[in-house]
Structure 1
Amino acid sequence: MSRTEPAALEIDRVTLELGGRAILNDASFTVRNGEFIGVLGPNGAGKTTLMRALLGLLPAASGSIRVHGEAVVRGNPSIGYMPQIRSGLANRRVLGRDFVAMAANGHRWGLPPRNASVRHDVERVLELVGAQQLATRPLSELSGGERQCLLLAQCLLGNPHLLLLDEPLISLDPRHQTGVIELVRRVQRELHITVLFSAHELNPLLNLLDRVLYLGNGRAALGTVDEVISKPVLSKLYGSPIDVMRVNGRIFVMSGDVEIDKLDHAHEEGDEHAHEHEHDHGHHHSHEK
């Protein structure tokens, strides 16, 4: 890597705390420019907390975070963020184009800005994600996958270099999950940007990832799927024996005879709503100029 091109993300001995508890403890890793990184780990492992720290919404208790060589700042225009919004969108009558435009200057649900540069940028991102046909339809008539497509368009306003996507696959059926992942990967390659894509389960992402960032028990492990999704690495992260099974091209992470992902889903709904306001807040700050 040349000195003129710093890494997309440098985490150096970072500790992140919530309510006095270390969510991430003395973690260090580097994400290269243009990588597609899957961020995995059980609920409470710090996937959302890490993204909030990158957005400048949560200061590190210790260590340093650098995004493209610069210290973290709130409202960094080089970062696009898709929060874990789930409720509310399905009932909105706002048109797709206006919904995308609302994020252009961090506006909530007021009238979208109408200056020419914003209009041009909105049309650019709608075309980029292939959502022109959704522009004139209300959100209430769209599928979950189509709404995720518009949320991705919002993230791409202003030409960010780093996308943070917080569990965009939750609530989507397998077909729509595949569509969202393939769309993100296509856009990421076309724009040569870096993506951190947090997910509850590895398998939907398995063949499209460059590397995996696995969080657990305050620790972080970054590497290829084979390097990270292994019995010794995950057992160390979880602090208990973990088995990794490969069956018919799929990977299953097991604690005893229970699949980790299935165990984790029991707590998903409550956690998701508990964070909803935070995500929304972070999303709009991420587009401030």
Structure 2
Amino acid sequence: MDSSTPPTGHGPDLPLRDVPEPRTTTPDPGGPGTTAPGAAAGRRRDPGARAAPAIRLRDAELAFGDRVLWSGLDLDVAPGEYLAVLGSNGTGKTSFLKVLLGLLPLTSGTVSVDGLRPRAAARHVGYVPQQRGFPARTPLRAKDLVAQGVDGDRWGIRLHPGRVRRRVAELLERVGASDYANAPVGLLSGGEQQRLRVAQALAADPSVMLCDEALLSLDLHHQQVVSELVHEQRVRHGSAVVFVTHDVNPIIDHVDRILYLANGSFRIGTPDEVLRSDVLSELYGTRIEVLRSNGRILVAGRPDSTHHTDSPEELIP
């Protein structure tokens, strides 16, 4: 990364554990420092101590063959912090989430989620994917879809059916989907289906929420609904949020920091620090204009890499 933009959150690596342990709030062994912007919105903790990072990457690199998506990434995401991940097509935004989900290994460096290796942290993570419609004939009901996130069978702990039903009802009410609990998911609108995916992601009360273009293809009303549901989890439960998006405007009021990926490099900072013409022009190596109008932000002149894909399955022969 460019020396003019130092990475944030330096400190000693957290030990990585292979089995989950109860989440606790402990002083950061890295010593004194500032709290990440969104941390105050999360869980209560000793004001004299810093919460351990919900996500930590150290000297992280991701490459496919000779193509480096990003390298030298040092990043701490605090509990309760909201990080937006932006960038052109093919810069590694979705791949970044796959690293955090344990679906894709780093080329080099280390990553931890809730102090664990990513795969071991899966039960602490809620994942909201991009909205993709179900076929109209899909027999699965709305409440069945949410129940898939509630039932603990995938962790080897089968929950009592009554507990599952009660939890599903709570989640459906929370996301405003109770009225169509018995409806086949294939007959629901894209926005209604996405509410169910959020409910599914919230089932285990996750400490980390990962959202991959979760507002794409939704109308403005459902963009607002889904973004507010994710934000509510962050405020009420102190969950860290990592939100990959091509358009930051629907979530800009919630965002603490931005990770902007481009040209094999990145910038990290607050929206005002990163979304600037001079910063993005340096990052892209060409003239970029950041325009603000009526509360909206537009990045003009960005060279979208449409000839690249962000899917490792397609990048790897």
TM-score, scaled to structure 2: 0.74
Name the residue aligned to 2:236.
Answer: 190
Task: Give the deviation of 1:154 after TM superposition.
Answer: 0.8
**Which residue of 55, 62, 68 maps to 1:9?**
55
Distance in 2, Cα, partners of 1:276 & 1:156: 28
Which has the larger share of helix?
A: 1
Q: Deviations along 1:138-187, whole A, 9 cap, x unmatched? A: 21232211111000011112221001010011111222212221222123
Name the residue aligned to 1:103.
Answer: 149
In 2, are the aligned partners of 1:212 and 1:228 still within 8 Å (CA)? yes
Task: Give the deviation of 1:275 after TM superposition.
Answer: 7.9
AA aligned opposite 1:52:
K
Q: Deviations along 1:246-287, whole A, 9 cap, x unmatched? A: 1222111111xxxx4xx74x959x969x6899xxxxxxxxxx
Task: Give the deviation of 1:216 after TM superposition.
Answer: 1.4
C-alpha change, 1:161 and 1:180, in structure 2 (3 Å) is same
Name the residue aligned to 1:207.
Answer: 253
Task: Give the deviation of 1:35 after TM superposition.
Answer: 1.2
Residues 1:248 and 2:294 are matched in the alignment = yes
Task: Give the deviation of 1:102 after TM superposition.
Answer: 2.4
In 2, are the aligned partners of 1:121 and 1:158 still within 8 Å (CA)? no
Residues 1:165 and 2:190 are matched in the alignment = no
**SS of corresponding position for 1:241:** coil
Task: Give the deviation of 1:107 after TM superposition.
Answer: 8.6
**SS of corresponding position for 1:2:** coil
Residues 1:226 and 2:251 are matched in the alignment = no
Q: Deviations along 1:80-111, whole A, 9 cap, x unmatched? A: 11223514355523210001112345999xxx
Name the residue aligned to 1:51.
Answer: 97
Task: Give the deviation of 1:135 after TM superposition.
Answer: 1.3
Task: Give the deviation of 1:127 after TM superposition.
Answer: 2.8
**Which residue of 189, 192, 201 maps to 1:143?**
189
Name the residue aligned to 2:176.
Answer: 130
Task: Give the deviation of 1:74 after TM superposition.
Answer: 5.2
- Provide the aligned C-alpha RMSD in A: 3.0
Q: Which moved further from structure 2: 142-151 or 244-253?
A: 244-253
Distance in 1, Cα, partners of 2:187 & 2:313: 22
Task: Give the deviation of 1:51 after TM superposition.
Answer: 0.5
C-alpha change, 1:24 and 1:74, in structure 2 (3 Å) is farther
Residues 1:34 and 2:80 are matched in the alignment = yes
Unpaired segments ≥5 residues, structure 2: 1-25, 29-49
C-alpha change, 1:213 and 1:90, in structure 2 (3 Å) is farther
Q: Deviations along 1:184-203, whole A, 9 cap, x unmatched? A: 21232122211111111122
**SS of corresponding position for 1:234:** helix
**SS of corresponding position for 1:77:** helix
Distance in 2, Cα, partners of 1:89 & 1:8: 36
Matched residues, percent identical? 39
Q: Which moved further from structure 2: 183-192 or 117-126?
A: 117-126
TM-score, scaled to structure 1: 0.81
Which structure 1 residue ranges, 4+ long, deviate > 6 Å from structure 2? 274-277
Bigger radius of gyration, 1 or 2?
A: 2
In 2, are the aligned partners of 1:95 and 1:137 still within 8 Å (CA)? yes
Distance in 1, Cα, partners of 2:164 & 2:66: 42
AA aligned opposite 2:115:
G
AA aligned opposite 1:2:
P
Task: Give the deviation of 1:44 after TM superposition.
Answer: 0.8
Distance in 1, Cα, partners of 2:236 & 2:196: 18
Name the residue aligned to 2:42.
Answer: none
AA aligned opposite 1:133:
D
Task: Give the deviation of 1:42 after TM superposition.
Answer: 1.0
**SS of corresponding position for 2:164:** helix
